[in-house]
Amino acid sequence: MEEPQSSPSHADSEHYREMASKLRELARQFRFPGARQELLKLALRYEVRADQLDARSAPAVSDQERN
Amino acid sequence: MHGAPRPSPTRSEINGAAFAATLPTGLPQGLICVAKIGNFLELFRQVARFKINYRYRAVWAAMSDAEQPIPELYREAAEQVRQLARQARLTDIRGDLLALSAKFERLAANADAAIRLGLPGCPHGEIIPPDRGRPPPEGHE
């Protein structure tokens, strides 16, 4: 299968960050603390996952840059 | 009840009035009586409906404008999270968001039930756990 131009894990990590940011924005609109807390918890999880994906793809990217 | 807005006439009320107006004067008393009973039942139904509306409005009116009822807050949250789920292109994100939306819907239903049952602390209280109000299983303290 042909490799896509941009790394899929990088695109995924960007998407996780984008969704985390939207969740935080949504959480700011909610006045009820229970719902707000749930959204913030999920946003944090997505940010952690994005960092993990970036960390995993970082060596591969630097290898490509070296070649 | 002074100042209460009179509910708009329903289709059956209009039909009943129209029907009564079209009755010829020479009709048997029995038929006129049936039409009158129909109108009376419609009036009774409207009064009952007004009483129900009034009662529920009173529950919400007890809160300030800034304080939205908990079921409404959760339903609103569920809808917004569902909308966000539609924007997700990764299945796990979409799954998470749809699950969260479903959870908010369940909490809204629980809060509704608590209000209906008149549990203390509702609708002003905290999140209602799903097991509250359920009797303990037999054999347990």
B105 and B80 within one domain: yes
Instruction: Pick from A13, A16, A19, A41 the residue to mutate for testing the B interface (most B CBs within 10 Å).
Output: A19
Length of chain B as a residue count: 141
Residue A50 has a pLDDT of: 95
Task: Select from B46, B62, B78 the last residue of a domain.
Answer: B62
Residue A9 has a pLDDT of: 78
- Between B42 and A51, the more confident residue is A51
Structural domain includes residue A17: yes
Contacts of A22 in chain B (CB under 8 A): 84, 87
B101 and B114 within one domain: yes
Residue A4 has pLDDT above 60, yes or no: no
Location of structure tokens 């479903």: B102
Q: Give ipTM to 2 decimals.
A: 0.77
Structural domain includes residue A64: no
Structural domain includes residue A3: no
B73 and B55 within one domain: no
Mean per-residue pLDDT, B61-66: 43
Cα–Cα distance for residue pair A54/A62, rounded to 1 Å:
12
- Letter for the amino acid at B59? V
CB atoms within 10 A of CB A2: 4
> B85 in contact with A at a CB cutoff of 8 Å?
no
Å from B67 to nearest chain A CA? 9
Cα–Cα distance for residue pair B82/B101, rounded to 1 Å:
6
B84 and B38 within one domain: no
Is the pTM of the predicted complex or chain greater than 0.80? no
The domain of A16 spans: 10-58
Q: Which of A20-24, B119-123, B131-135 comes out lowest in average pLDDT?
A: B131-135
Tokens of A18: 């984008």
Please state, rounded to an integer, the average pLDDT across all residues of chain B.
Answer: 66
> A32 in contact with B at a CB cutoff of 8 Å?
yes
Structural domain includes residue A67: no
Question: H/E element holding B99?
Answer: helix B91-117
Q: Which of B77, B96, B97 lies at the smallest CB-CB distance from A35? A: B77
The domain of B51 spans: 8-62
Mean per-residue pLDDT, A27-39: 86
How many independent structural domains does chain B possess?
2
> A23 in contact with B at a CB cutoff of 8 Å?
yes
B75 and B126 within one domain: yes
Structural domain includes residue B2: no
Degrees to nearest 5, angle at CA A9 with A6 and A13:
105
Residue B60 has a pLDDT of: 43
Mean per-residue pLDDT, B78-104: 96
Q: CA of A64: how far to CAs of A9, A50, A61, in Å?
A: 15, 21, 5
Structural domain includes residue B22: yes
Structural domain includes residue B137: no
B126 and B78 within one domain: yes
Location of structure tokens 């209000």: B115
Q: Are A15 and B89 in contact (CB under 8 A)?
A: yes
B68 burial type by CB count under 10 A (0-12 exposed, 13-18 middle, 19+ buried): middle
Structural domain includes residue B141: no
Percent of chain B with pLDDT over 90: 23
Largest CA distance in chain B: 76
Please state, rounded to an integer, the average pLDDT across all residues of chain A.
Answer: 82
Structural domain includes residue B3: no
Residue A59 has pLDDT above 90, yes or no: no
Tokens of A41: 């918890």
How many independent structural domains does chain A possess?
1
- Predicted confidence (pLDDT) per residue in B99-129, tens digit: 999 999 999 999 888 888 887 655 544 544 4
Structural domain includes residue B75: yes
